[in-house]
Amino acid sequence: MGLIEVLMNGQAEVARAQAGLITGGRLHRIDYTAPRKRFSIDNAKSAEDLIAIGRGEALKKENLDEVKRLFLNGKKVEPFVPIRVIGSPEPKATGDSADPQA
């Protein structure tokens, strides 16, 4: 495995770990390995093929079963409440003792 692959895999694992923390572990990742040179980053003409592959992978029984178990199980979850709404005023300082200006 080359340096680029190591860096990309590392970034993907960090993103997966962050998503797991954000979702409380309610996460299902679907990995697909395309044949080498099948797609290129700067070629939008392949978008329909990528969509079709994604749909096909999502509809596989093992993926559908996991999505049903995690998300379509009748369990209610707490609604998401953002910490800060974009466009709202910045929160006022709380007088943190570590801040010499407070």
Q: Which two tokens stand for residue 9?
A: 């895999």
Averaged pLDDT for residues 73-91: 84
| Domain residue extents for the chain | 31-73
- With 0.85 as the threshold, say if the pTM is over it: no
CA 6, chain centre distance (Å): 19
Return the higher-pLDDT residue of 16 and 77: 16
Total Cβ atoms within 10 A of residue 67: 14
What is the tens place of the pLDDT at every residue in 33-78?
889 888 888 888 899 999 999 999 999 999 999 999 988 999 888 8
pLDDT of residue 100: 52
Check whether 95 has a pLDDT greater than 90: no
DSSP code at position 96: -
